[in-house]
Amino acid sequence: MNKYALLNYSLNKMCPLGIIIFLLFTNFTIARFEPYVIIALIFFIERFNYKVGYSVAICEERNLIQHD
């Protein structure tokens, strides 16, 4: 296994989120509610995106769905 795999995964996972949070708080103020709602929605999307991808992988492995 590549010794930089953990670093690469961590940066790919956290850097986009950090950039989004930085941009939100530079364009909005901390006192507004919009950045917090957007961050919560990002975490919601990220959580269920992983679960859907995992489910699709299991279904493909067991030949429950076919790709064209």
Give the predicted TM-score (pTM) of the model: 0.64
Whether 35 and 28 have beta carbons less than 8 Å apart is answered as yes
Least confident of 36-40, 48-52, 54-58, 64-68: 64-68
DSSP letter assigned to residue 10? H
Range of the domain at 38: 5-61
29 located within any domain? yes
45 vs 2, 4, 12, 52, 65, CA distance in Å? Answer: 29, 27, 16, 10, 23
Whether 42 and 20 have beta carbons less than 8 Å apart is answered as yes
pLDDT of res. 39: 92
The total of structural domains in the chain comes to 1
22 located within any domain? yes
Residue 66 has pLDDT above 80, yes or no: no
67 located within any domain? no
25 located within any domain? yes
27 located within any domain? yes
66 located within any domain? no
Q: Give the pLDDT confidence of 2-51 residue by residue, as tens digits.
A: 778 888 888 888 898 999 999 998 998 889 999 999 999 998 888 888 78
pLDDT of res. 68: 60
